Amino acid sequence: MNWNAEYYVNKGPVRLYVYRKRATPPVAGQAPLPVLFLVHGSTVSGRNTYDLQVPGRDDYSVMDHFAALGYDVWTMDHDGYGRSGWTEGSNSGIQSGADDLQLAVPFVLETTGVSTLSMFGSSSGALRASLFTTRNPEKVSRLGMAALVYTGAGSPTLEQRRTKLPEYSASPRRKVNLAFYEGMFNRDKPGTSEALVPQAIAAAELPLVSEVPTGTYVDMCVNLPAVDPAQIVCPVMIIRGEYDGIAAEPDLLDFFARLPNKDKQFVALAGIAHNPMMGVYRKKFYHALKAFLEMPLQSD
């Protein structure tokens, strides 16, 4: 059983939830562990994305997996998600998410005693994480991303989502329920995930929220590109699942080509849809992220 701790950082009057897991509690005088910060996407909060507990399964928690490998693993619930408060009137878009990280990451660095961390984000979390990285290159040593979208060109999911853009633009919130979570996992390729997964998400999320922000949906429909890859100077890994309907491969390869650091990886994973850490073949995701985090660099 891994040790965990809960914290809050203040965003004006709103409290943002920050969550930590590692194999053992910190010990005075002990050398700090490598820090991994995980950034969630548009619908499910950070803790319930990366520390998901699925009945009858013991390998869905990304935080447990990397804590067991010796990492000090952190995540947060962004403004309007999960255990965090909600800024009145905010739709918690990409810029807002990067602002949230601007508050949480310095707290993590101070608490752990390190000067830089590795960051991973999935879907709109990849956009939040990469935007934060462009603003704070001195704080992020490596950036991993999955289910990323660059310009949105060739994305069938975003094309379909734009049909509801008036609805998403009219309100800062959208409803979520079990049927919505089930649709997330059946959208790209039925059979790439277990039915237990959306049920576990619903059991964890719905006691906390019945609505989530619309901002990242709006941004991904009309405000792309959100990030200039030329401004990301650290080593980068991009993971794309075979059936991901958000980001077309040519769009991601264009992003990849513009990254200036030559320590970069593009990883294509067969049998995986938009949520690589929650699919049947999630162990491929674990392998890819672990290899990237432990890749020797010239500075090592």
The confidence score (pLDDT) of residue 299 equals 67
The confidence score (pLDDT) of residue 15 equals 98
13-67 pLDDT per residue, tens: 999 999 999 999 999 889 999 999 999 999 999 999 999 999 999 999 999 999 9
Backbone angles phi, psi at 248, to 5 degrees: -70, 145
**Domain range for 248:** 3-25+32-293
In a domain, 300, yes or no: no
In a domain, 162, yes or no: yes
- 16-26 in b/e burial notation, b at 16+ Cβ within 10 A? bbbbbbbbeeb
Q: Rounded mean pLDDT of 111-130?
A: 98
In a domain, 87, yes or no: yes
229-239 pLDDT per residue, tens: 999 999 999 99
Say if residue 298's pLDDT is above 80. no
What's the helix, strand, coil split of the chain in %, to 5?
A: 35, 20, 45
- Residue 2 banded pLDDT, cuts 50, 70, 90: confident
Say if residue 264's pLDDT is above 80. yes
Say if residue 133's pLDDT is above 90. yes
What residues are paired with 173 via a beta bridge? 213
In a domain, 298, yes or no: no
Tell me the three state secondary structure of residue 122: strand
CA separation for the pair 22, 19 (Å, rounded): 11
CA separation for the pair 127, 146 (Å, rounded): 10
Q: Rounded mean pLDDT of 157-172?
A: 96
In a domain, 201, yes or no: yes
Share of the chain above pLDDT 90, in %: 97
187-218 pLDDT per residue, tens: 999 999 999 999 999 999 999 999 999 999 99
Backbone angles phi, psi at 241, to 5 degrees: -75, 145
Those residues with Cβ within 8 angstroms of residue 66's Cβ, 6 or more apart along the chain or in another chain = 36, 73, 289, 290
Q: Rounded mean pLDDT of 263-290?
A: 97
Any idea which residue has 């947060």 for tokens? 76
Helix (H) or strand (E) holding 21: strand 14-22
Q: Rounded mean pLDDT of 258-286?
A: 97
- Residue 72 banded pLDDT, cuts 50, 70, 90: very high
Q: Rounded mean pLDDT of 126-142?
A: 98
Say if residue 113's pLDDT is above 70. yes
Say if residue 3's pLDDT is above 90. yes
The CA-based dihedral angle spanning residues 159, 164, 165, 166, taken in that order and rounded to the nearest 10 degrees = 150
Say if residue 300's pLDDT is above 80. no
In a domain, 299, yes or no: no
How many domains, the chain? 1
Beta 211-213 vs 140-146: how paired, if at all?
unpaired
Q: Rounded mean pLDDT of 262-268?
A: 98
Those residues with Cβ within 8 angstroms of residue 172's Cβ, 6 or more apart along the chain or in another chain = 80, 89, 90, 91, 92, 213, 214, 215
Instruction: Say if residues 197 and 278 touch (Cβ distance below 8 Å).
Output: yes
CA separation for the pair 149, 146 (Å, rounded): 9
Say whether pTM exceeds 0.95: yes
Q: Rounded mean pLDDT of 91-112?
A: 98
Those residues with Cβ within 8 angstroms of residue 271's Cβ, 6 or more apart along the chain or in another chain = 192, 241, 242, 243, 279, 280, 281, 284
Number of Cβ within a 10 Å radius of residue 186: 15
Say if residue 254's pLDDT is above 70. yes
Instruction: Say if residues 227 and 127 touch (Cβ distance below 8 Å).
Output: yes
State the alpha helices, DSSP H only, in the chain.
46-50, 62-68, 94-112, 124-135, 156-161, 165-170, 178-186, 196-205, 215-222, 249-257, 282-293
The domain spanning residue 58 has which CATH number?
3.40.50.1820
- Residue 241 banded pLDDT, cuts 50, 70, 90: very high
Those residues with Cβ within 8 angstroms of residue 221's Cβ, 6 or more apart along the chain or in another chain = 152, 158, 161, 162, 165, 168
CA separation for the pair 128, 124 (Å, rounded): 6
Q: Rounded mean pLDDT of 152-177?
A: 97
The confidence score (pLDDT) of residue 295 equals 96
In a domain, 145, yes or no: yes
The confidence score (pLDDT) of residue 297 equals 86
